[in-house]
Structure 1
């Protein structure tokens, strides 16, 4: 991301920066790709290394189903029950060695701070509002926000009281960035990109905690969750600067790219991750060629699995798919618009659909959690005589 700073920092890095009592602040360099990627420098009141107790609290085994016949699938994830906090309440639905896709409907606050050590997380806020708290500061979130949490960020969500929360969670085994084609060689967004720096919301306020006591941090790494107990509040940062920080991007700020004829899914791309992309299908005007067919053509994902998460509105090429549902179209089988939607799209001038698409370049596996949510009729919903997914 672009350069940003909050709080107090010295005029030159790696030099003396003293507290009111004359002691030094403790500098922390946080960066990716060794020392060859973007980084930020944070200044703590106490060393961020002062851990007094460490224990493994949970082994994580994702319960994937045994592979059955290849088919298109739909899952009514709106029925996932509420419970837990934004981390403990996650229900993993599908994944592979590069990405894990979950939903969560948290009802509890996080009494600890959390770090995902393997890569970046993207949390799409379907419903709900509150505050993202991290060592970089406070950032309010609202429906439609993508919260992008780089690895190394120590965070927790503080949901607003009495507000229902529903979130889509993407855990990447690596880094999530804007697509390279949106950026110039200096990292600035180009004029043709569907969003730019002005649309990214950095932390708004740096809150420094100068407290001693017992403070819990949980770290997910290497197949488990470890609990680290600190003798001081870990969010004791007085200032920071750099290019690595958590941010929010609201899907309403994604400017759709349209054309005279139907545009392919890459025009909707929002982020790139290791072995996957994230796209945003947003309300937009339809194609304007006089003979245009706005609905998408039939196509085969010969190199990828396609996941669609339905957020709001009526998706122009689908029937019977409700809010909060997923469809999964694996590579190896063509897919396309449902019967009647292709012809019915002709003459329409806009769509109000809102959906998040995740395309993976290695096959996804479905978890046993998802099986109870599955619509078994979906694979046959392209037959004229068969009912649509209900």
Structure 2
């Protein structure tokens, strides 16, 4: 593992400079007449200039060349499976489950950008309202190329293989059971070591933040100090034909430039990429009776304008103790006004130990009923209720949204991973009614 350095804290205003260039950060002002070392000052804004101080997101970058130094953008048509066309398929309210998505064979070289696949989504990317769910399926590193998303934030969940990510702010190494967030507009490049697979939650509205704790109090769930941001690192490297790929209004564009974009010598601000280790999540659970709502497992949220209703929540189901009395402990049968996309990083999910596999996924759309299969129901209904560990060696997660998501043609047809027999897992549930 690379020896990367990180800054700790969520939403903090950080300052970092590469040790090779001490005093690169100006004092007392953001944009002096002349920056140290002949650097250029550049501001990256993730919110409106006049956003309230608590919501204002921006960073100042001190770089060798400003990011404007590139040739014109042209259409980049090498990945037809990244889309915002939510109307290409007829709506489908059925329960959906995908077997593990295929990673490209070793004989075919596919990097992170070429391996992006949109599974489902909703909203209007131009109106900055909505979300998309993607998977990435790749086996090679990005070479002399970088990527940025003009449409929104990427929350990246590695499932197989680790991601060695270089950003304008520095480097991050993200392995399975960790996540990272690359906010809108930040440029990055992904290196991998062999077969790599994972999930991405993209939001167009605002940015991810920690959920309010309410009656929980000051502590619990994900702690601010456990989020890590990279420290400044730069390369002054001339590269003829370096490719800068932009995702803009759902389409890909590419521009050529003659240098590496990772030339930020120093930076300060609160608009930064970050990573988080899911093993550090502090689980809150019932110690009396009944099954708590999955909202108690929310790691990050992107709120909507309606209080308590999210554009997207990132929820995990980590190892924990289960101690409820006189209670059906697994998730209850349920119909929801939210859309629920689930994935499995490793292990066996407690409510469906067969069929729902690492690297696969499921989607339960608005008001589509779902819940445990018969085996899980029978076992939990008749189990001796004593304190027990559940989900050891398992990490499942959910992307939950208040928007009704449509499945893409790739997700429903092209990938050939949709399990047409998923509905059968509930057909054996019996009529146990007795008077």
TM-score by length of 2: 0.80
Q: Give the Cα–Cα distance (whole angstroms) in 1 for the partners of residues 71 and 231 of structure 2.
A: 31
Q: Retained in 1: the 8 A contact 2:84–2:250? A: no
Unaligned runs of 5+ in 1: 184-188
Q: How many residues align?
A: 374
Q: Give the Cα–Cα distance (whole angstroms) in 2 for the partners of residues 87 and 69 of structure 1.
A: 28
Number of the residue aligned with 1:308: 342
Q: Retained in 2: the 8 A contact 1:319–1:338? A: no
For residue 342 of structure 1, give the secondary structure of its aligned residue in structure 2.
Answer: helix
Number of the residue aligned with 2:14: 4
Q: Relative to structure 1, is the Cα distance of residues 385 and 226 closer, same or farther in structure 2, using a 3 angstrom cutoff?
A: same
Which of 158, 168, 176 matches 1:125?
158
Number of the residue aligned with 2:417: 373
1:89 matches 2:122 = no
1:177 matches 2:191 = no
Structure 2 matches for 1:134-145, cutoff 5 A?
Answer: 134-145=167-178
Unaligned runs of 5+ in 2: 1-10, 18-23, 124-129, 305-310, 431-435
Q: Give the Cα–Cα distance (whole angstroms) in 2 for the partners of residues 378 and 57 of structure 1.
A: 37
Q: Retained in 1: the 8 A contact 2:133–2:201? A: yes
Q: Relative to structure 1, is the Cα distance of residues 47 and 314 closer, same or farther in structure 2, using a 3 angstrom cutoff?
A: closer
Give how far 1:248 is off: 0.8
Give how far 1:134 is off: 0.9
For residue 92 of structure 1, give the secondary structure of its aligned residue in structure 2.
Answer: strand
Give how far 1:150 is off: 0.4
Question: C-alpha offsets along residues 295-327 of structure 1, whole Å, 9 cap, x if unaligned?
Answer: 1222210x2111111222222211422222212
Question: C-alpha offsets along residues 274-308 of structure 1, whole Å, 9 cap, x if unaligned?
Answer: 6221101111111x23323211222210x211111
1:296 matches 2:331 = yes
Number of the residue aligned with 2:8: none
Number of the residue aligned with 1:186: none
Structure 2 matches for 1:177-196, cutoff 5 A?
Answer: 177-182=208-213, 191-196=218-223
Q: Give the Cα–Cα distance (whole angstroms) in 2 for the partners of residues 211 and 166 of structure 1.
A: 31
1:15 matches 2:44 = no
Q: Give the Cα–Cα distance (whole angstroms) in 1 for the partners of residues 370 and 429 of structure 2.
A: 17
Q: Retained in 2: the 8 A contact 1:99–1:173? A: yes
Give how far 1:17 is off: 4.3
Give how far 1:62 is off: 5.2
Number of the residue aligned with 2:198: 167
Q: Give the Cα–Cα distance (whole angstroms) in 2 for the partners of residues 18 and 190 of structure 1.
A: 45
Q: Retained in 2: the 8 A contact 1:285–1:351? A: yes
Q: Relative to structure 1, is the Cα distance of residues 212 and 368 closer, same or farther in structure 2, using a 3 angstrom cutoff?
A: closer
For residue 105 of structure 1, give the secondary structure of its aligned residue in structure 2.
Answer: strand
For residue 228 of structure 1, give the secondary structure of its aligned residue in structure 2.
Answer: strand
Stretches (4+) displaced over 6 A:
none
1:79 matches 2:96 = no
Q: Retained in 2: the 8 A contact 1:53–1:230? A: no
Q: Retained in 2: the 8 A contact 1:52–1:229? A: yes
Number of the residue aligned with 2:390: 351
Q: Give the Cα–Cα distance (whole angstroms) in 2 for the partners of residues 230 and 68 of structure 1.
A: 42
1:103 matches 2:144 = no
Question: C-alpha offsets along residues 197-242 of structure 1, whole Å, 9 cap, x if unaligned?
Answer: 3211211451232536442211110232121222332222110011
Q: Retained in 2: the 8 A contact 1:95–1:365? A: yes
Question: C-alpha offsets along residues 241-293 of structure 1, whole Å, 9 cap, x if unaligned?
Answer: 1111111112112121111232111001112136221101111111x233232
For residue 340 of structure 1, give the secondary structure of its aligned residue in structure 2.
Answer: helix
Q: Give the Cα–Cα distance (whole angstroms) in 2 for the partners of residues 130 and 170 of structure 1.
A: 16
Q: Relative to structure 1, is the Cα distance of residues 291 and 218 closer, same or farther in structure 2, using a 3 angstrom cutoff?
A: same
Q: Give the Cα–Cα distance (whole angstroms) in 2 for the partners of residues 221 and 363 of structure 1.
A: 23
Give how far 1:363 is off: 1.4
Number of the residue aligned with 2:46: 32
Q: Give the Cα–Cα distance (whole angstroms) in 2 for the partners of residues 385 and 79 of structure 1.
A: 32
1:240 matches 2:259 = no
For residue 311 of structure 1, give the secondary structure of its aligned residue in structure 2.
Answer: strand
Q: Relative to structure 1, is the Cα distance of residues 212 and 103 closer, same or farther in structure 2, using a 3 angstrom cutoff?
A: closer
Number of the residue aligned with 2:316: 280
Give how far 1:74 is off: 0.9
Q: Retained in 2: the 8 A contact 1:39–1:243? A: yes
Give how far 1:69 is off: 5.1
Q: Give the Cα–Cα distance (whole angstroms) in 1 for the partners of residues 207 and 71 of structure 2.
A: 32
Number of the residue aligned with 1:150: 183
Q: Give the Cα–Cα distance (whole angstroms) in 1 for the partners of residues 132 and 249 of structure 2.
A: 14
Greater shift in the superposed pair: 221-230 or 53-62: 53-62
1:326 matches 2:361 = yes
Q: Give the Cα–Cα distance (whole angstroms) in 1 for the partners of residues 421 and 102 of structure 2.
A: 17
